[in-house]
């Protein structure tokens, strides 16, 4: 039996930790924490750490060790966890990685197909010094990395887009100029590898079959070791009620003491998107604690109705954010992790944890049997047939071949819509006896294959297509009637509106830009990179999108 790994993933509050301990007990396992916030020392309540007595003597690694003022990146995690796995295998034990920071876990289980390719694919090649970082020392590189990260974080999207156009015009042409997440990811690839993302993608495609096979043998496009993944899942309505209740329990259990301790340890300028400060609850209770501290400072009573109302509002906000986080975690699994699993036939089993009463039959017993069979090379059940949710959640949502999707991602002009709107505009103006403004009607540009599909279905496109057919059929008289319609649309302000909103829809549902969406969790969130999304730090993403 090859030394492998078990991963337990799923949303917050679903019971992952319990399952990891049950698996570890049955399979001589040691648990590796894969939650970006549980690495912090103390703060057990706000980070939802498992109590010592509930760990049943199972060793937990990468948990409870980092001081509050420190940061921990996905790269730190990957390096630490890989080192630990080696040691655990050396003890003939089974590593069980568990956590809700799914991009951490993903980076650990899979090699980064894009970034790792450079080393291996390029090794026999030119080595033409295309890498901007090749000649730098480690410290210089670190400084450079920090500079790059700051640039990516602090620059506005237009600046980032200009930079991308400069270094990788091919990718720039693929992304919408406002798609900060994708632009950032492409730039990140350039900064980290010194090569254009488009070149890397081309190289990946240029691999011959035998090279591909070899790359597979090297594990380049696959997991690092035999991997068995369990997704602990609960129906959202049931889970939401559980999450709400958990917030109340946290408050009763001392959440406020932890928050107050955290507030004392930092100045007022906390960056809520970094490190421990992203823990859900800390920021959400800021209005309440700020008001409370004010009251204390000015010797006002602290038991006022206003303060109580504020506290209740903050509690509600925390509940909402927790539910949103859970939702993004599921999206991350479906949109990011599942495609990787399918691509290389990595085994992932969804366990139905909707009812806690049937935990043993539906979750722990099933997982233990599968894990044992998996590592013994025995036959495994069909994952999609295991329960009602498995079928729904594990089946493909969208085109899974990420590279193929990238390849086909283009800006495309709808010549019908462009041409017809221009004709209407000209005819209309001519009818008014004016020349109109040149360039008043911009080309109708659609981003991405899905956007294109949507555009073809849109009312405007279908209408203009009909117009074109009518024009071709009826000739010159046609325009007059259409000009009336143009006039009407212009008056209503609906002229270009349908076209303008069609943007790229790549199926990544995290594009929740208003509140920086984690999973959105998270920039070309292919696999392991520090960057997970446009505006936010990787850690920030973790909380929202989880992304992590
Ligand atoms: Zn069109």
Q: What string of H, E and C letters represents the secondary structure of 46-79?
A: CCCCCCHHHHCCCCEECCCCECCCCCCCHHHHHH
Tell me whether residue 488 is exposed, middle or buried, using C-beta atoms within 10 angstroms of its C-beta: 0 to 12, 13 to 18, 19 or more. Answer: exposed
One domain, residues 346 and 197? no
289 inside domain: no
Final residue belonging to a domain, choices 177, 212, 247: 212
CA of 442 to the centre of ligand 1 (A): 13
534 inside domain: no
CA of 179 to the centre of ligand 1 (A): 22
> For residue 327, is pLDDT > 70?
yes
What's the farthest any 2 CA atoms get from each other in the chain? 87
> How do residues 197-252 score in pLDDT, each as one tens digit?
777 776 655 554 444 444 444 444 578 899 999 999 999 999 999 999 999 999 99
Nearest-angstrom CA–CA distance, 74 and 101: 9
One domain, residues 32 and 106? yes
CA of 423 to the centre of ligand 1 (A): 14
CA of 417 to the centre of ligand 1 (A): 4
Q: How confident is the model at residue 131 (pLDDT cuts 50, 70, 90)?
A: very low
Comparing 198 with 518, the larger pLDDT belongs to: 198
User: Which range is least confidently modeled, 72-81, 322-331, 501-510?
Assistant: 501-510
Final residue belonging to a domain, choices 366, 390, 406: 406
Distances (CA, A) of 13 to 62, 322, 354, 371: 19, 9, 11, 22
480 inside domain: yes
CA of 414 to the centre of ligand 1 (A): 5
Nearest-angstrom CA–CA distance, 189 and 56: 43
CA of 504 to the centre of ligand 1 (A): 15
Nearest-angstrom CA–CA distance, 547 and 392: 21
What domain range includes position 170?
137-212
**CA nearest 387: which of 359, 362, 423, 424?**
362
Write down the pLDDT at residue 535.
37
CA of 161 to the centre of ligand 1 (A): 26
Q: Domain containing 385 — which CATH number?
A: 3.40.50.300
Comparing 490 with 163, the larger pLDDT belongs to: 163
One domain, residues 154 and 227? no
User: Which range is least confidently modeled, 52-61, 87-96, 485-494?
Assistant: 485-494
CA of 494 to the centre of ligand 1 (A): 15
Nearest-angstrom CA–CA distance, 480 and 460: 18
One domain, residues 74 and 52? yes
Nearest-angstrom CA–CA distance, 267 and 263: 7
Average pLDDT over residues 303-309: 93
One domain, residues 372 and 420? no
CA of 409 to the centre of ligand 1 (A): 17
One domain, residues 333 and 198? no
One domain, residues 27 and 41? yes
CA of 448 to the centre of ligand 1 (A): 14
> For residue 274, is pLDDT > 70?
yes
The pairing of beta strand 411-413 with beta strand 445-447: antiparallel
533 inside domain: no
Q: How far is CA 125 from the centre of its chain?
A: 33
> For residue 318, is pLDDT > 60?
yes
**413 by DSSP, 3-state: which?**
strand
Percent of the chain residues past pLDDT 70, beyond the cut: 73
CA of 440 to the centre of ligand 1 (A): 17
Comparing 372 with 207, the larger pLDDT belongs to: 372
DSSP lists the bridge partners of residue 31 as: 60, 96
One domain, residues 331 and 187? no
> For residue 407, is pLDDT > 80?
no
**CA nearest 327: which of 48, 13, 545, 19?**
545
Selection from 1-15, 20-34, 257-271, 449-463 with the highest mean pLDDT: 20-34
Q: How confident is the model at residue 117 (pLDDT cuts 50, 70, 90)?
A: very low
Q: How confident is the model at residue 123 (pLDDT cuts 50, 70, 90)?
A: very low
User: Which range is least confidently modeled, 274-278, 399-403, 452-456, 481-485?
Assistant: 399-403
The pairing of beta strand 227-233 with beta strand 29-33: unpaired
How many domains does the chain fold into?
A: 3
Peptide bond into 201 cis (omega under 30): no
CA of 484 to the centre of ligand 1 (A): 20
189 inside domain: yes
Nearest-angstrom CA–CA distance, 167 and 171: 9
Asked if 203 and 126 touch (Cβ cutoff 8 Å), the reply is no
Write down the pLDDT at residue 323.
93
Distances (CA, A) of 263 to 43, 217, 270, 281: 12, 50, 9, 12
Please provide residue 398's backbone torsions phi and psi, each rounded to the nearest 5 degrees: -160, 180
CA of 185 to the centre of ligand 1 (A): 29
User: Which range is least confidently modeled, 84-98, 350-364, 485-499?
Assistant: 485-499
One domain, residues 360 and 463? no
One domain, residues 393 and 441? no
CA of 461 to the centre of ligand 1 (A): 4
**546 by DSSP, 3-state: which?**
coil
51 inside domain: yes
CA of 229 to the centre of ligand 1 (A): 44
> For residue 155, is pLDDT > 50?
yes
Asked if 121 and 204 touch (Cβ cutoff 8 Å), the reply is yes
Write down the pLDDT at residue 261.
92
pTM score, two decimals?
0.58
One domain, residues 189 and 50? no
Write down the pLDDT at residue 354.
95
Write down the pLDDT at residue 29.
97
| End-to-end CA gap in the chain | 31
26 inside domain: yes
Comparing 467 with 365, the larger pLDDT belongs to: 365
**CA nearest 224: which of 81, 372, 122, 402?**
81
Q: How confident is the model at residue 459 (pLDDT cuts 50, 70, 90)?
A: confident
CA of 175 to the centre of ligand 1 (A): 19
Final residue belonging to a domain, choices 372, 406, 440: 406
Residues in contact with 10: Cβ distance below 8 Å, sequence separation at least 6, in sequence order: 16, 100, 231, 232, 233, 329, 333, 353
With b for 16 or more beta-carbon neighbours within 10 A and e for fewer, the 370-389 pattern comes to bbeebbeeeeeeebeebbeb
One domain, residues 228 and 350? yes
Q: Domain containing 169 — which CATH number?
A: 1.10.20.140
Write down the pLDDT at residue 447.
72
Asked if 198 and 171 touch (Cβ cutoff 8 Å), the reply is yes
Average pLDDT over residues 80-96: 96
CA of 455 to the centre of ligand 1 (A): 6
CA of 497 to the centre of ligand 1 (A): 12
Percent of the chain residues past pLDDT 90, beyond the cut: 40
Tell me whether residue 426 is exposed, middle or buried, using C-beta atoms within 10 angstroms of its C-beta: 0 to 12, 13 to 18, 19 or more. Answer: middle
Write down the pLDDT at residue 396.
61
Residue 28 DSSP class: T
Nearest-angstrom CA–CA distance, 149 and 360: 46
Comparing 47 with 537, the larger pLDDT belongs to: 47
103 inside domain: yes
> For residue 320, is pLDDT > 50?
yes
Q: How confident is the model at residue 30 (pLDDT cuts 50, 70, 90)?
A: very high
């Amino acid at each position: 039996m090859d030394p492998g790994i078990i991963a337990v993933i799923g949303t917050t509050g679903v019971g992952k930790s319990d399952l990891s301990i049950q698996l570890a007990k049955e399979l001589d396992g040691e648990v590796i924490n894969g939650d970006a916030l549980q690495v912090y020392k103390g703060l057990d309540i706000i980070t939802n750490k498992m109590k010592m007595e509930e760990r049943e003597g199972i060793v937990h690694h990468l948990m409870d060790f980092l001081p509050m003022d420190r940061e921990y990146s996905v790269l730190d995690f990957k390096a630490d966890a890989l080192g630990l796995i080696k040691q655990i295998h050396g003890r003939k034990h089974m590593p069980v990685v568990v956590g809700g920071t799914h991009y951490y876990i993903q980076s650990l289980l899979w090699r980064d197909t894009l970034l790792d390719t450079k080393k291996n694919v390029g090794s026999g090649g030119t080595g033409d010094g295309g890498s901007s970082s090749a000649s730098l020392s480690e410290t210089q590189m670190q400084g450079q990395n920090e500079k790059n990260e700051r640039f990516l974080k602090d620059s506005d999207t237009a600046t980032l887009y200009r930079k991308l156009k400069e270094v990788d015009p091919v990718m720039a042409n693929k992304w919408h100029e406002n798609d900060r997440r994708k632009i950032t990811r492409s730039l990140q690839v350039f900064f980290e590898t010194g090569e254009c993302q488009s070149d890397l993608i081309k190289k990946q495609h240029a691999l011959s079959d035998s090279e591909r096979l070899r790359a597979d043998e090297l594990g380049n496009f696959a997991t690092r070791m035999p991997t068995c993944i369990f997704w602990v899942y609960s129906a959202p309505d049931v889970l939401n009620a559980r999450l709400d209740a958990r917030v109340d329990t946290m408050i009763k259990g001392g959440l406020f003491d932890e928050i107050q301790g955290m507030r004392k340890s930092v100045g007022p300028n906390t960056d809520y998107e970094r490190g421990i400060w992203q823990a859900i609850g800390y920021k959400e209770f800021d209005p309440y604690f700020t008001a409370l501290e004010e009251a204390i400072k000015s010797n006002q009573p602290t038991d006022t109705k206003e303060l109580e109302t504020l506290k209740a509002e903050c509690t509600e906000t925390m509940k909402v954010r927790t539910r949103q986080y859970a939702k993004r975690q599921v999206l991350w699994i479906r949109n990011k992790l599942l495609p990787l699993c399918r691509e290389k036939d990595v085994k992932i089993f969804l366990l139905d944890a909707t009812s806690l009463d049937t935990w043993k039959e539906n979750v722990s017993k099933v997982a233990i049997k599968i894990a044992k069979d998996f590592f013994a090379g025995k036959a495994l059940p069909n994952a999609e047939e295991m329960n009602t949710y498995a079928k729904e959640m594990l089946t493909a949502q969208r085109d899974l071949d990420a590279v193929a999707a990238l390849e086909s991602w283009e800006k495309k002009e709808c010549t019908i819509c462009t041409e017809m709107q221009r004709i209407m505009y000209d005819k209309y103006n001519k009818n008014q006896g004016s020349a109109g403004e040149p360039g008043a009607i911009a080309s109708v540009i659609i981003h991405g294959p899905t956007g294109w599909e949507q555009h073809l279905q849109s009312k405007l496109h279908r209408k203009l297509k009909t117009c074109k057919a009518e024009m071709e059929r009826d000739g010159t008289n046609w325009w007059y009637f259409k000009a009336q319609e143009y006039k009407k649309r212009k008056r209503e302000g609906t002229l270009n509106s349908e076209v303008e909103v069609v943007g790229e829809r790549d199926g990544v549902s995290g594009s929740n830009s208003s509140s920086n969406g984690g999973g959105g969790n998270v920039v070309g969130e292919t696999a392991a990179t520090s960057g997970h999304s446009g505006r936010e730090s990787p850690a920030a993403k973790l909380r929202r999108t989880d992304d992590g």
